[in-house]
């Protein structure tokens, strides 16, 4: 699987897999997962939640040196967090870890812009307090003109902003092609789905964007106290690699039961078709019979995949659509579930 921030890998431990191989070209993503793993190894749920629940632990440096560092074995991760621990120190204009980095900075800007308008701030809080879809729809209808005004529509349509959010130009084009007003129309489509079709009271993704922290009853599984021990017991089943998926599969061939590809194939389809084809041949060569494949895309149909993929992988479009309707982030047009024939 792709590492990303490591939250998915930790959640998958609750299914007791034999091994999880987390691969990412960006070594900082692996360092983030390794920091979370070290917090599990420390045996302290309160320390884990102070770092990744509140995003601003008290006495972060002392806690890091005394509780985390003895369990942070990877040399790159040790150096990185010793240098970047300020992200967690709760100081400055962006006090939460979750408002750091490029995407965090965009979330912070939009959130503070909303907070600066008394009416928009009040409506946003009411939206997140909604207890029914009818309430959500009512409050979102009032919020959308504030949230997607002319300035914000211009802002989110800019390539540099989308790049900060981790959306390459190829995905921007895929997302925008169905809407007359481009990316602004795509974002409007996504937000209406999230805020009017899916309950918001437990949507920790969007609550995090707005409030900059999780709460004890609205957070990912890996932060819940009842799952701390099962994950801690199995934490050594996760292995991290700073490499491409192609590079990993060439160096570590095997019979893998699941492949979690996230959205990186959109970029390959636009810029490196040969690499995309090689990746699929490597996946098929290293897939156990009946292996499951999960990917997401800014495309509304999986028609960017090489033709031979459809000969060897059955994509259950009905199941994918059903799961896509439950997507609480809502920023991708499609989520695809495949089974190797």
In this structure, is residue 167 part of a structural domain? yes
Sheet holding 334-340, edge to edge: 256-262, 287-297, 334-340, 313-315
Mean pLDDT within 280-292: 97
Hey, what's the torsion of the CAs at 213, 217, 218, 224, to 10 degrees? 90
Please give the structure tokens belonging to residue 199.
């309950």
Residue 168 has pLDDT above 70, yes or no: no
Residue 133 lies in domain: 101-211
Q: Is residue 298 part of a domain?
A: no
pLDDT of residue 306: 93
Q: Is residue 335 part of a domain?
A: no
The predicted structure's pLDDT at residue 303:
78
Query: In the chain, helix, strand, coil percent, each to 5?
Result: 60, 10, 30
Name residue, tokens 């979750």. 98
Count of Cβ atoms closer than 10 Å to residue 300 Cβ: 13
Q: Does the predicted TM-score (pTM) go above 0.85? A: yes
Tell me the mean pLDDT in the region 40-58: 96
Flag whether 188 is in a domain.
Answer: yes
The mean pLDDT value for 101-115 works out to: 82
pLDDT at 110 over 90: no
What pLDDT, on the 0 to 100 scale, is given for residue 175? 67
Q: Is 200 helix (H, G, I), strand (E, B) or coil?
A: coil
Would you say residue 36 has pLDDT above 90? Answer: yes
Q: Is residue 115 part of a domain?
A: yes
- Average pLDDT of the chain is 90
Whether residue 162 is predicted with pLDDT greater than 70 in this model: the reply is no
Work out the percent of the chain whose per-residue pLDDT is above 70: 95
How many structural domains is the chain composed of?
A: 1
Q: What was the pLDDT predicted at 249? A: 98
Taking residues 109-127, report their average pLDDT: 88
What pLDDT digit, counting tens, does each position of 287-333 carry?
A: 999 999 999 887 777 778 999 999 999 999 888 888 888 888 887 77
pLDDT of 84 > 80? The answer is: yes
Residue 153 covered by a domain: yes
227 domain residue, yes or no = no
229-269 pLDDT, tens digit each: 999 999 999 999 999 999 999 999 999 999 999 988 888 87
Q: Which residue has the tokens 């800019």?
A: 158
pLDDT level of residue 189 (50, 70, 90 thresholds): confident
**Strand, helix or coil at 135?**
helix
Which whole-number Å values give the CA distances from 164 to 75, 96, 159, 336, in the listed order?
28, 18, 9, 25
pLDDT over 90 percentage in the chain: 64
**Residue 138 pLDDT > 80:** yes
For position 190, what pLDDT does the model report? 85
């Amino acid at each position: 699987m792709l590492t990303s921030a490591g939250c998915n890998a930790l959640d998958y431990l609750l299914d007791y897999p034999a091994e999880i191989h987390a691969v990412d070209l960006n070594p900082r993503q692996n360092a983030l997962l390794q920091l979370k793993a070290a917090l599990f190894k420390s045996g302290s749920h309160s320390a884990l939640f102070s770092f990744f629940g509140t995003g601003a632990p008290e006495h972060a440096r002392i806690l890091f040196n005394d509780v985390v560092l003895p369990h942070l074995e990877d040399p790159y991760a040790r150096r990185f967090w010793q240098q970047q621990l300020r992200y967690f120190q709760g100081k400055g204009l962006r006090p939460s870890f979750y408002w750091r980095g490029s995407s965090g900075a965009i979330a912070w800007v939009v959130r503070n812009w909303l907070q600066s308008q008394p009416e928009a701030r009040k409506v946003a809080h009411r939206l997140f307090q909604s207890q029914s879809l009818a309430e959500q729809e009512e409050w979102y209808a009032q919020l959308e003109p504030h949230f997607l005004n002319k300035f914000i529509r211009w802002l989110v349509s800019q390539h540099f902003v989308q790049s900060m959010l981790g959306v390459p130009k190829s995905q921007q084009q895929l997302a925008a092609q169905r809407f007359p007003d481009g990316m602004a129309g795509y974002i409007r489509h996504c937000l209406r789905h999230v805020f009017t079709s899916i309950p918001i009271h437990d949507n920790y993704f969007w609550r995090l964007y707005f409030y900059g922290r999780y709460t004890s009853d609205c957070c990912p599984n890996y932060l819940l106290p009842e799952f701390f021990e099962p994950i801690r017991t199995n934490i050594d089943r996760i292995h991290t690699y700073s490499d491409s998926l192609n590079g990993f599969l060439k160096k570590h061939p095997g019979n893998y039961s699941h492949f979690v590809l996230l959205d990186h194939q959109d970029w390959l389809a636009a810029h490196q078709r040969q690499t995309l084809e090689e990746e699929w041949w490597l996946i098929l060569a290293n897939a156990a019979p009946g292996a499951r494949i999960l990917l997401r895309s800014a495309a509304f149909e999986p028609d960017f995949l090489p033709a031979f993929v459809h000969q060897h992988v059955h994509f259950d479009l009905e199941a994918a659509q059903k799961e896509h309707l439950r997507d609480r982030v809502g920023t991708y047009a499609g989520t695809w579930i495949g089974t190797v024939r």
